[in-house]
Amino acid sequence: MIAIKTSEEIEIMKEGGMRLAKIMEKLEKQIRPGITTEELNEKAENLILKFGGKPNFKGYEGFPAAVCTSINEQVVHCLPSKRRLKEGDIISIDIGMKYKGFHTDMARTFSIGKISFETQRLIKATKKALKIGIKQAKIAVQFGDISNAIQRYVENQGFNVVRELFGHGIGRLLHEEPKIPNFGEKHSGAEIKEGMVFCLEPIVTSGNWRLEKTEDGFGFKTKDNSLSCHFEDMIAITKKGPIILTKL
């Protein structure tokens, strides 16, 4: 069953989402060659506490950190480590926070210094795929229309969407119904209704979309070691259209 949020609950989630977006903005300023992902995680947890929240990833299914830090061929859910970022890398940071009883969640991919033209294209395409998905998120539209729009755009750009991971509903639980794939058929799935809140998160690879687990036991990487990119926002459905809650 897909939960419907009241306008008051959505306002709380909007406040939490704005705070999470500010945290991500501050984290972005720390990303540079030489910094370790462990250091980024420490800064993220301190910021979450400073902004009045609790790190909701920490302890979730045993995950011991406040953020997921996935570099290059790493896709999602990778554990922060002593690995140092270097010129030409890209890093996806997935971050969440519990605020006033409700969960928030977002992800962004950043480049470290100069990156190749093709890597720039990958980031640009993934970012646009998220915008395309959000534009579809309206009352009476079906979730398959979002999935299909994301897939068609990404594949038209020469990239692939990951098939093993999904967007999701969010609220008092971090992961609620429905699961929202980044691929699928038009006019399929549940109908979108006013008051729904969910996370859309295109996860795109430059090569094959098939994944395998990383050595840390939590994350995923591409099987063919191709680059991966991830953007995620939390969306609320209103009569006036979708509202991005994780936005400054």
Longest Cα separation, the chain: 48
Q: Is 41 within the bounds of a domain?
A: yes
pLDDT above 90 (res 248)? no
User: What is the CATH number for 51?
Assistant: 3.90.230.10
Residue 1 within any structural domain of the chain: no
Note whether residue 216 is domain-resident.
Answer: yes
pLDDT tens per residue, range 115-153: 999 999 999 999 999 999 999 999 999 999 999 999 999
- Residue 130 in any domain: the answer is yes
For residue 236, what pLDDT is reported?
Answer: 98
- Find the domain containing 24 and state its range: 7-244
Is 192 part of a structural domain of the chain?
Answer: yes
**27-70: per-residue pLDDT in tens?**
999 999 999 999 999 999 999 999 999 999 999 999 999 999 99
